[in-house]
A and B are shown apart, each in its own frame.
Chain A
Amino acid sequence: MGNNYFLLGALVTPLVGAIVALVFARSNRIQRIIGVVAGIIAWVFCSALLIEIHSSGIQTYALGNWRPPYGIVLVADTFGGLFAFMVTSIMIGGLLYTLHSHDKCMTYPAFMPLFLLMEVGLVGAMLTGDLFTLFVFMELMVLASVSLTAISDDQYGLEAALKYILISSMGTLFLLLGIAAMYATFGTLNMAEIAQTLLTGERPFLAPASAIMLLCAFLLKSAVFPFHFWQPDFHTTAPTPISAMLSSIVVKVGVYGIIRLVTLLFIEEAPLLERWLSTLGIIGIVFGSLGALRTYNAKRMLAYSTFAQIGFILVGIGWGEPLALIGAIVYAFNHAFIKSSLLMLMGVVSSYTKIKSANFADISGIGGKMPASVGWLLLIGGLSLAGVPPLNGFISKLALIQGGVHRGDWPNLIIMVAAGILTVIYMIRAWQRIFQQKALPDTAETKSEGDSLLAPFLLICICLLLGTVLAEPLIQLTMETVRQLGDPRIYISAVNLPA
C-alpha cells in the first residue's frame, strides 16, 4: 500500500503554521490569521483522509520511506481518522475564538505557535502507529498546554500549570516506563508488530505490567478518578479558547489510548482492565456531577462536568461490547463539540465583566448587559449536555444506554440516568443565575463589549446538526469504526509488516 500524503499534511500543516507564526511575531493580527488558515487546511486534510479511509480502508504513511518495523509509520484507521477529524474541527473553533478576543495573553507572540503545536501533538498522537512517537506527541501536547495555561490572564494560572506539569510528568514517567518495558520484551515499538505478537497468545514477563503502566498514564491524561485532582484547577484557569480545547479534546487523547489498549494490544487482558474502567468511570460520574453542583465558578462547573462525562465514556468502554463501544465513541465525539462550545460561551459571559471572572458571585444577573443570543446559545448547549432531544447529547446518551441495556448492567445505568438529571439541574441553575436573576450589589462591573460569539455559535450549530441531520452518518461511521476495532488483524495487515 502506498503512502497517503493526507496523513502527513494533517500533521505538518499546523507545525508549519507554528513556525510561520513565529516569523511574524511582530504582528499579532497576521499570527492569528495564519493560525486560522493552518487550522482550516489541517481540517481539510483530515476530512479528505476520513473520506479516503471510508472508501479504501486503513491508510498509512512510512516516514522517510523507511518501511516498518524499522521506520516510524503513521497509521490512520477509521477510529484514529475520526478522532483526528474531531480534533481538527474543534481546533478551528478555538482558533476562530482568538480572532476577536480581548485577553492580554493572546497578544503574546508565543501564544499562536504554542496553540498550533498543541494541535500537532493532538493530531500526531491520534495518527501515529508507534508507541514512542505517541509518547513524544503527548508530551508536546502537555508542554504546549501547560505553557499556555501559565501565561493565562488568570493570576492563578501559573499555580495550576505547575501543579499539572508535576503530576503529568509522573504520568509521562509511567508511560515511558511502560514503553521501555514493552521494548525490553518485544524488541519493537511498532503497535502493529506488538499486537501481532500478543495475538499469538504469547505473554512475555513484562507485558501485563506495561499494560497497567500505560493504562495509568492514559487515565491520568484524561483525568479519571484517582488522578483527577489537577483537572478543575487546570481547566478553569486556562485562557478561554485553551480551556475549551483542554476540556473537550485533550482529555480525549487518554480515551483514545485506552480504546487502543483494550482493542488492539491487550485483548486477552481487556476484561480485567474493563472492570476497573467501569468502576472508575462510575466514581467519576458521581463525583463529577456532585462537584459541578456545588462549585462557585461557572468554568469550574464545566470542568467538573467533563470529569463526569469522561466517566460516561469509560463506563461505555468498560462494558466491553461492540454496541457499548459505539456508544462510547459517539459520546466522546459529541461531548467534544458540546463542551468546547459551552466553555467558550462561559468565556464570552466572563469577558463582559471588567475583571474577567467566571465566579457565580460576579456574573449573577449580568445577562441583561449582553446580547440575548448568548443566553439562548448557553441554554441550547446546556440542554444538549444534559441529553435533551433533539440535540446531539441525546443521541450520544441514547447510543450509550442502548449498549448498557444490551449488557444488562442495571445498577450502573440507574446511576448514569440520575447523573443526567443532575446535569440538567446544574446547567439550568447556572443559566438562571446569569440570565434570570437581577444583578446583585456585589456583581462585578460590566463592559459594553465582550468576545465574539462566532466560534461558539458555529460549534452550537454543529451540535444541532449532529443531533439531527448528521446523527445517522455519525452512527454509521462509528459502527464501521467498531467493526474495524473488533478485529485487530485488519490493523496489523494494513501496516504491512514484513513476514
Chain B
Amino acid sequence: MTELLFALSIGLLFGIGVFQLLRRDLIKAAIGFAILFSAINLFFVAAGAFEGEFAPYVSNVEAGRQTSDPLIQALILTAIVVSFGSFSLVLGFVNIISRRYNTIDSNDLNKLKH
C-alpha cells in the first residue's frame, strides 16, 4: 500500500514539477525546479525504504531482524544539499534578471536569439 502511495506521489510530483518548469514565469519555473528535485529525492527514498524493519546503527536490534539501509539516507542528504544549492542559485539569477532586464517573463528574455 505504501509502495503504491510512494509511486503515485512521485509521479504526481514529477508531473507538477515538469509543468511548472515549463511556465513562462521564471519564479514559477524555479519552484518547479525545487518540486522536481523533491520527486527525485522521494524516488531515492523509495529505493531503500521497504527493506529492513529497524533504523540502522541502533543497539537494541533483535537478532535475525534486518536493519534498513543507511547509505540511502546519506545519499539523499548530499542530493538535497546539491539541489538546494542550485535552487538558491536559480532564485538569485531570477532576482538579478528581474532588475537587469525588468522582466521575469521568459518570452521577453530573447536577446540571444538571432
Interface residues of A (CB under 8 A from B): 132, 135-136, 139, 142-143, 146-147, 150, 155-156, 158-163, 165-166, 169-170, 172-173, 176-177, 180-181, 183-184, 189, 233, 236-237, 295-296
Q: Give residues 19-54 of B contacting A (CB, 8 Å).
A: 21, 26, 29, 33, 36-37, 40, 43-44, 46-48
A146/B89 in contact, CB under 8 A: yes
Contact between chains at B93 and A158 (CB < 8 Å): yes
Contact call A161/B112, Cβ cutoff below 8 A = no
17 contacts between A and B (CB under 8 A): A132-B78, A135-B82, A136-B78, A143-B86, A147-B89, A150-B93, A159-B112, A162-B97, A166-B29, A166-B90, A170-B36, A173-B36, A177-B40, A181-B47, A184-B47, A237-B112, A296-B114
CB neighbours of A184 from chain B (8 A): 46-48
Name which of A172, A176, A180, A183 has the most chain B CB atoms within 10 A of its CB.
A180
Let me know if B47 and A139 touch, CB within 8 A.
Answer: no
A162 touches B90 (CB 8 A): yes
A-B pair number, CB within 8 angstroms = 81
Additional A-B contacts beyond A156-B111, A158-B97, A181-B47 (18; CB < 8 A): A132-B78, A139-B82, A142-B86, A143-B86, A147-B89, A160-B112, A162-B26, A165-B93, A166-B21, A172-B86, A176-B40, A177-B40, A177-B43, A183-B75, A184-B47, A233-B112, A236-B112, A237-B112
> Known: A159-B97, A162-B93. Is A180-B112 also a contact (CB below 8 A)?
no
The answer to the question of B65 belonging to the interface, with a C-beta cut-off of 8 Å to chain A, is no
Q: Does B94 contact A (CB under 8 A)?
A: yes
Chain B at the A interface: mostly helix, strand, loop or mixed? helix
Q: Given A136-B78, A159-B109, A159-B111, are A180 and B44 neighbors across the interface (CB < 8 Å)?
A: yes
Q: Which residue of A lies closest to B17 (CB)?
A: A173
A121 to chain B, nearest CB (A): 12
Contact flag A169-B111 (CB < 8 Å), given A132-B78, A146-B89: no
B79 at the interface (CB under 8 A from A): yes
The answer to whether A183 touches B48, judged by C-beta atoms less than 8 angstroms apart, is: yes
Nearest-Cβ distance from residue A291 to partner chain B, whole angstroms:
11
Contacting pair B33 A136 (CB below 8 A): no
Interface contact B33-A169, CB-CB below 8 Å: yes
User: B64 at the A/B interface (Cβ < 8 Å)?
Assistant: no
**Residues of the B chain whose Cβ atoms lie less than 8 Å from the Cβ of A236:** 112
Question: Which B residues are CB-close (under 8 A) to A166?
Answer: 21, 29, 33, 90
* Chain B residues, Cβ within 8 Å of A165: 86, 89-90, 93
